Amino acid sequence: MSESAVDPEEVRHVADLARVDLDEEEVERFTDQFGEILAAFEALEEVPEVESEADLVNVMRPDETHDCLSQEEALQNAPESEEGYFKGPKVS
Amino acid sequence: MSAYNAFVTREAIEGSGEGPLAGKTVAVKDNISTAGVRTTCGSAMLEDYVPPYDATVVQRLKQAGATIPGKTNMDEFGMGTTTETSAFGPTENPAAEGHVPGGSSGGSAAAVAAGEADLALGTDTGGSIRCPAAFCGVVGIKPTYGLVSRYGLIAYANSLEQIGPIATSVEAAAELLDVIAGQDDHDATTRDFDEHVGTGLAEAADGDVDGLDIGVPTELLDGADEAVVETFWDAIADLEAQGASYHEVSMESLEHAVEAYYVIAMSEASSNLARFDGVRYGPTPEYEGNWNEEFAKVREEGFGEEVKRRILLGTYALSAGYHDKYYKQAQDARAWIKQDFDEALGEADVLASPTMPVPPMKRGESLDDPLTMYLADANTTPVNLANLPAISVPAGETDDGLPVGLQIVGPAFGEREIIRAGSALA
């Protein structure tokens, strides 16, 4: 396995982008593991460019109204709600 | 509680009517939504989540008269090969005690193997139905992408995953697939079942393999455990004795499947799992920070380590400067693999390999080494990348008494071919 190309700072940066807090032990473990896993992913560089035309079609439907969840049902799993809205932390 | 910890929640959901599944119990993996019955995905993040609606497959089970005896244990969000990453504890393998049941649908396969349910539904993103079927000595089918509605399945990697059946026989698995397959207005990727496959799938389980031409990709035998390879060839010899023939085929692209799979699955996961923010569902946040700080804390507490690992690696693979290096290359590999399968299936009716390159691991031994665990998915992930159908049937046991599965891969919507071939063995 190649010497890790990943350092703890990089793991912290990605964790920050992904909005997942990590403790110090996780940062340490992930630093080693990510080095190893990303080194394995390097094998993808040997893959040739492939001409591929995906067999895709648009799936359309008439724009009609249907029954949907009630506001109450949609809110039933929310830890906090207020006056029919989800309640989240302050944005800044 | 089940002796094998196969269930996260034991709560019976009764079906209605005298459909084809009347009198049968069908356990449902805990990432498939059941109205009024909690659906956890094996995660602390969804410990108290109660879906307000049924997944389409659950509606179809109920209409067919099935009783759902409970929701089965799984690797957290489907991320694992051993059913040990569940927040509700690991599942034990009823067919090989002391060993893992495979994953991520380990609870579904264990419930069927232990007789705690007649049938079960699992989900397969990179082998999560076929692996536990192989390890627990039962039958599992990963349908062609688009055959079964994913509406109500809590998404991990949308472009790869399908819901499919687990049973003790190929015929019973085919019957269950017949019930759940088909077009659904709620999932635009679904295709017409009658037009592409045709109902009455169980009729294809007639065991007739006379004249069947089987391709064996050598890349899926290289590096496999010796005892597994031996059992695999015994099963091929059995099929030969029933009138089938085989030839070896080389598919170079398959050597890159695991890497391509993990890059794509992790990238999709990093996006899909962004919804778990503690606002619409999830643990109650009681922090004083701003949105981003609370979001990151809820996710630290709610997610287990494997889930964090995959979200972070997916975020990394998609981040500026790395997208072309990882994600784009992985998509090229996916196209290459599809091309290789098209060619190989042009010269064979079906392809066969060991489902897993290794026998069931001992419990607890693979958790510290994620890369080794990922590599165990070498034979199953190519099928998801190519959107194809595949079945795992019991091929026999190693000398140590550990179950080995035979994987049979068919062309797109070739469910009849793989069911027919598989039914010659189970």
Q: pLDDT (tens digit, 9 = 90+) per residue, A1-42?
A: 444 579 999 999 999 999 999 999 999 999 999 999 999 999
Q: Which two tokens stand for residue B289?
A: 């920070």
pLDDT of residue B2: 63
DSSP B346-388: HS-SEEEEESSSSPPPBTTSSTT-HHHHHHTTTTTHHHHHTT-
Residue B263 inside a domain? The answer is no
Cα(B353)–Cα(B380) distance, rounded to whole angstroms? 9
Residue B319: its chain A contacts at CB < 8 A?
14, 17
pLDDT of residue A1: 41
- Of the pLDDT bands very low, low, confident and very high (cuts 50, 70, 90), residue A50 is confident
Q: Are B141 and B129 in contact (CB under 8 A)?
A: yes
User: Considering just the CA atoms, what is the radius of gyration of chain B in Å?
Assistant: 20
Residue B419 inside a domain? The answer is yes
Cα(B229)–Cα(B226) distance, rounded to whole angstroms? 5
B263 CA to chain A: closest CA distance, Å? 8
Which residues of B are designated catalytic?
29, 104, 128
pLDDT of residue A2: 44
> Regarding beta strands B390-397 and B403-409, do their DSSP bridges make them parallel or antiparallel, or are they unpaired?
antiparallel
> Regarding beta strands B350-354 and B213-217, do their DSSP bridges make them parallel or antiparallel, or are they unpaired?
parallel
Cα(B210)–Cα(B111) distance, rounded to whole angstroms? 34
- B352-366 in b/e form (b: 16+ CB < 10 A) is bbbbbbbbbbebeeb
Cα(A6)–Cα(B43) distance, rounded to whole angstroms? 28
Q: pLDDT (tens digit, 9 = 90+) per residue, B361-415?
A: 999 988 889 999 999 999 999 999 999 999 999 999 999 999 999 999 999 999 9
- Of the pLDDT bands very low, low, confident and very high (cuts 50, 70, 90), residue A75 is very high
Q: In chain B, how many domains are there?
A: 1
Residue B263: its chain A contacts at CB < 8 A?
41, 44
What is the extent of the structural domain holding B356? 7-252+335-424
Cα(B202)–Cα(B197) distance, rounded to whole angstroms? 12
Chain A interface, mutation test: which of B50, B76, B297, B312, most A Cβ atoms within 10 Å? B312
Type of residue found at A19: R
Q: Which two tokens stand for residue B176?
A: 């269950």
Q: Are B372 and B359 in contact (CB under 8 A)?
A: no
Mark yes or no for CB contact A33/B305 under 8 Å. Answer: no
- The CATH code of the domain that includes B180 is 3.90.1300.10
Q: Which sequence spans correspond to the domains of chain A? A: 8-44
Q: Which of B83, B82, B75 is nearest to B42 (CA)?
A: B75
Question: Which residues, in sequence order, are CB contacts of B305 under 8 Å at separation 6+?
Answer: A26, B85
Residue B149 to residues B45, B183, B312, B425, Cα–Cα distance (Å): 25, 7, 29, 29
Residue B318 inside a domain? The answer is no
Give the pTM. 0.97
pLDDT of residue B3: 84
Residue B322 inside a domain? The answer is no
Mark yes or no for CB contact B256/A50 under 8 Å. Answer: no
B314 CA to chain A: closest CA distance, Å? 9
Low-confidence ranges of chain B (pLDDT < 70): 1-2, 285, 287
In degrees and rounded to multiples of 5, residue B200 shows phi and psi of: 80, 40
> Regarding beta strands B71-72 and B7-9, do their DSSP bridges make them parallel or antiparallel, or are they unpaired?
antiparallel
Helix (H, G, I), strand (E, B) or coil at B161: coil
In degrees and rounded to multiples of 5, residue B216 shows phi and psi of: -120, 105
Selecting from B305, B315, B371 the residue whose C-beta is nearest the C-beta of A18 gives B315
Residue B246 inside a domain? The answer is yes
Q: Are B138 and B166 in contact (CB under 8 A)?
A: yes
* For B283, nearest residue in chain A (alpha carbons): A79
pLDDT of residue B291: 86
The DSSP secondary-structure symbol of B140 reads E
Mark yes or no for CB contact B53/A87 under 8 Å. Answer: no
Residue A88: its chain B contacts at CB < 8 A?
277, 279, 291, 294
pLDDT of residue B199: 87
Mark yes or no for CB contact B312/A40 under 8 Å. Answer: no
Residue B267 inside a domain? The answer is no
